[in-house]
Amino acid sequence: MMHTGVLTAISVSHVTARVDEIEAASAAEPTARIDTLLEKTGVDEAFVLQTCNRTEAYVVTDRAEQGRHALESVVTGVRSGAVVRMDHEESLRHLMGVAAGLESLVLGEDQIIGQLKTAFETARRVGGIGPMLEDAITKAIHVGERARTETEINEGIVSLGSAAVSLAERELDLVDTTALVVGAGEMGTLAAQALQSALVKRVIVANRTVPHAAHIAATLDIEANAVGLDAAAAAAETADVVITATSSPDYILDAKSLSTAGETVCIDLAQPRDIEPAADDLSTVAVYDIDALETVTDETHAKREAAAREVEAMIDAEFDRLLALFKRKRADEAISTMYESAERVKHREVATACAKLESTGELTDEQREIVESLADSLVGQLLSAPTKSLREAAAEDDWTTIQTAMRLFNPEFDGTFPPIPAEGERGDDAASKPSPAGGPPSGDLPPSIPESLDELPDSVGAGDIPPHVLSRLTDD
């Protein structure tokens, strides 16, 4: 599979956006959004990552402008200042930072790794993952796992669930209180565990599927029971603290249902929201959303700054390895084309030679094997030097040499490999710099097969070219 293409991404996250703006950018069904993106002109691959504090989409296209155009549908109606648009290299780095927890509200939190893996498999299932996203996301997950095993980036508060409990502890003494957790997903599970550590007396877990809620309740070493979502309002009346984290498109608790709850601290981690914002107007109810967690997470961030610097250095090294991987694969595609061309010539010439030998007398199987072995040896030796040259060319961003090789050995090559960045695509002079992930410079490229041997790059010699191609470059 070809590793051509440019990665483009768009992000609406807690860094620049409010909760309602993240909600506006989110899709009810990520798979439907991936399908929609794949239908856009030029989009070959698509990936969507949605969590409670971010909505992101990534596409691979032939040209960056195609990717930018396709992604605008994700942020229709979202305030411009809330949107971060990323080119190829920025997208790759950002994805690694997300996986490592550097972009999370809780710096270094662990939950994002599982969310990234789930989104990866979802996109793969609907055909959104191709060779470029496969390499990029796999590398990001690898970086995220290294960050957590080799640094202290996830020491202390490691999830929004535990951050929510820390916030609740600032508002009231949780010892011997009753807590309601709405939602039995990973976030709800982490919140329930953090509440147990905070020494609450009792936890009620509400969920649409009661057995899932019962499973969480059973893992706790304190009094805990499970109820359905329809009983959440009644449970809130007995709770001192409520933490919600469902994926429901509608409010689970509205102002009316909380009006009789008494003194209650509510922390809404859901996206879209589980608790009607108007409930915060009630004199007895305090409602906090994800934005309110920043005071808690800022303290954690300060403690983890040293680890974050280690992770940044790790990302720098892994980023360079990823670019080298892309370059090597693109060079290998040119090398593969060269060998395929040589194999076609070899098979034709071996068949011709054997036919001539048979016409002068009997040709044994052993003699035929000798002829074929000779041809294989010649191909291998002749292509060894240009193979080395092509790999060196890729490492040095010499895409003119690779373009020329593709044209020489594949007459049908249309000249669009690798992609050429648009003018100013990376905010600099693209005409004098290589494109993202090892793309070619955007200056003039050979418009066709060279007209003479003098026009060949230094790394491609006449002895490296099949006869049928060589004949086109000489006057004889």
Q: What average pLDDT does this structure show over 157-168? A: 83
Q: Please give the angle made by the CA atoms of 72, 16 and 103, to the nearest 5 degrees.
A: 100
Structural domains in the chain, sorted by start: 6-155 (3.30.460.30), 160-301 (3.40.50.720), 338-473 (no CATH)
**Spatial separation of the C-alpha atoms in residues 276 and 236, rounded to whole Å:** 14
- How remote is the C-alpha of 261 from its chain's centroid? 43
Cα torsion at 62, 67, 69, 73 (round to 10°)?
140
**Spatial separation of the C-alpha atoms in residues 2 and 115, rounded to whole Å:** 28
Helix, strand or coil for residue 277?
helix
pLDDT for 138 beyond 70 = yes
pLDDT for 219 beyond 70 = yes
> What are the pLDDT digits (tens) for 241-295?
999 999 888 999 999 999 999 999 999 998 889 999 999 999 999 999 888 887 7
Q: What average pLDDT does this structure show over 414-439? A: 40
Inter-CA distances, 385 with 380, 388, 472, Å: 9, 5, 21
Q: What average pLDDT does this structure show over 338-350? A: 86
Where is pLDDT greater, at 451 or 134?
134
**Spatial separation of the C-alpha atoms in residues 469 and 476, rounded to whole Å:** 13
Q: What is the CB neighbour count within 10 angstroms for residue 150? A: 12
Judging by DSSP bridges, how do beta strands 241-244 and 178-182 pair with one another? parallel
- Contact partners, residue 277, CB within 8 Å, separation at least 6: 287, 289
The pLDDT value recorded for residue 156 is 67
Q: What average pLDDT does this structure show over 378-399? A: 79
> What are the pLDDT digits (tens) for 428-441?
333 333 333 333 33
Q: What average pLDDT does this structure show over 10-22? A: 90
Give the residue numbers annotated as catalytic, written as ranges.
Answer: 52
- Among 22-26, 57-61, 446-450, which is the least confidently predicted range? 446-450
Mean pLDDT score of the chain, rounded to an integer? 82
> What are the pLDDT digits (tens) for 353-364?
888 888 888 888
Where is pLDDT greater, at 4 or 15?
15
Assign 86 a pLDDT band (cuts: 50, 70, 90): very high
The pLDDT value recorded for residue 4 is 59
Composition of the chain by helix, strand, coil, percent to 5: 55, 15, 30
Question: Is the full-model pTM beyond 0.85?
Answer: no
Q: What is the CB neighbour count within 10 angstroms for residue 89? A: 17
The pLDDT value recorded for residue 379 is 86
- Among 4-8, 11-15, 146-150, which is the least confidently predicted range? 4-8
pLDDT for 444 beyond 60 = no
The pLDDT value recorded for residue 464 is 43
The pLDDT value recorded for residue 399 is 63
Q: What is the CB neighbour count within 10 angstroms for residue 34? A: 26
Tokens of 150: 């080799």
The pLDDT value recorded for residue 360 is 84
φ, ψ dihedrals at 327, nearest 5°: -60, -45
Q: Please report, as a single letter, which amino acid is at residue 194.
A: A
> What are the pLDDT digits (tens) for 173-215?
999 999 999 999 888 988 999 999 999 999 999 999 999 999 9
In the structure, how many helices (H) and strands (E) does the chain have? 16, 10
φ, ψ dihedrals at 253, nearest 5°: -125, 120
